[in-house]
Chains A and B, each alone.
Chain A
């Protein structure tokens, strides 16, 4: 009998998960194609409405930073939860577990693969931005905070996506819900034509609770190192993080009671 010692993280499992994660064409369309498309369209619209040409750099950088949030939303919130729910519906985690691949191993390797894929997409987005857009050079603190924020936001998307998939366990339902969330985030985040300033008060109240809003509205200030009040933005991360955390807790609890995972 061969000693079956599976490492939690292994190259073969990461390759497998990378194929899984990149195997869904929607992820490429919504996570890579769409943000780059939006970047060109929205920048053009915004710039053409500008009276003052000295503001072009500011406007394009602002749009560039805001649109970049579509990448984790599409890849993690949508992409991940969709493959996860599909797998759960088919009983694949259970099947893999019978082959000695524990569910936490699958999740670990999937997280790493998502991270690799996400980084590649963001880097590609930046390359396109740097080549084709007239972007403001950031200060060091600006770029560090950006990377930090996009990672935290991606993590929240992951927790939320995982919770939804685990709770619903159905591909169709999960797909509906995350698609809806994706558009809600884009609309309230100010990416679908209505900027924060033009929103009604109730809309603004919702928008304030979403991290996406701050990427669109304020990140240029952080990017260029000007003084900024971080409190509202921090609150939005805490709010969405808390909701996702609670959902995940409920999902895992329900799962454990059903006798799955062991």
Chain B
């Protein structure tokens, strides 16, 4: 049985002046416990979708939810706070609490190593510290539905990994729903169980990650870094669409997979096997969508 619905979107259109930034025809519903990864190129409409759900932009169509605005927590792509006081006081006012008396908040602050930032003003924080400031407050809200719009953008590799690790373990045993916009697919491997793929304001597909993989990539895929030699070796094998620097070999059956792997071993070639790779899902979904829509 499926979890209860938290939010339904139907026939949503958002215009900015003459431009259409978002046009969603088929209904989309977010259910309790969903971890939706929202992906798509720059300008695809990801932030616009979040803003319309939060009623921050005007839209046509219907977004239905029983949640109140207080039950939705949001990390926006850009978050700004006043610069007239240290972050500690902003945090205490927003969360209506005292850090010294709030065990849960203290825990989160030390979890994100934010102690030393509390006495600084917001503009004096580094990019990653700014992100953590908002994340701490968003997590404190403990909302049934939470949006994260590019939490890890602009962070170095290590900080990004640590942040994602912390988010994964924080939400591990919770049944709250998350919608996470990200351009880093490896983050979503851990954080998301559904994908919403957007392109130029349209929904390319929405569904469970594994189902989307089956739909677009089949049983499993073997991914190789592109080289001329590999292309020649595998020229007669069925390939999936992939970014130019990769070759994605489809493994419809176990036999096929064994055959490919034997060849790989014979030629001493490196490879990755996956039955969930988001990049390959994205590339193939986009390709199929544009084929269908150009006929």
Contact = CB atoms under 8 A, between A and B. Distances in A.
A227 interface: no
Contacts of B85: 16, 19-20, 23
Contacts of B265: none
Contacts of A90: 80-81
B295 interface: no
Most A CB within 10 A of own CB, among B71, B74, B93, B137: B93
Given A6-B96, A10-B96, A95-B79, A259 B56 contact: yes
B74 A87 contact: no
Interface stretch (B138-146, B251-259, B275-283): B138-146
B20 to A, nearest CB: 16
* B contact face: mostly helix, strand, loop, or mixed: loop
Interface in A94-124: 94-101
* Size range of the chain A interface in the assembly: 20 to 34
Contacts of B94: 96, 99, 101
B260 interface: no
A6 B144 CA distance: 18
B19 interface: no
A94 B56 contact: yes
A4 interface: yes
B233 interface: no
Given A95-B76, A259-B57, A259-B58, A15 B70 contact: no
Nearest to B72: A98
B76 A19 contact: no
B80 A95 contact: yes
A1 B84 contact: no
Given A23-B85, A92-B81, A100-B69, A15 B93 contact: yes
Contact of B90 (A1, A4, A16, A91): A16
B96 A98 contact: no
A203 to B, nearest CB: 38
Contacts of A92: 80-82
B114 interface: no
* Size range of the chain B interface in the assembly: 20 to 34
A100 B72 CA distance: 9
A1 B92 CA distance: 19
Interface string B49-68: 00000111110000000000
Contacts of B58: 259
B84 A24 contact: yes
B78 A98 contact: no
A4 B68 CA distance: 11
Nearest to A7: B96
A262 interface: yes
B76 A87 contact: no
B178 to A, nearest CB: 15
B70 A4 contact: yes
Nearest to A2: B142
A83 interface: yes
A13 interface: yes
9 contacts: A2-B142, A4-B70, A16-B90, A16-B92, A24-B84, A97-B69, A98-B73, A98-B74, A100-B141
- 4 smallest CB-CB distances across A and B, nearest first, come from A23-B84, A16-B93, A90-B80, A19-B85
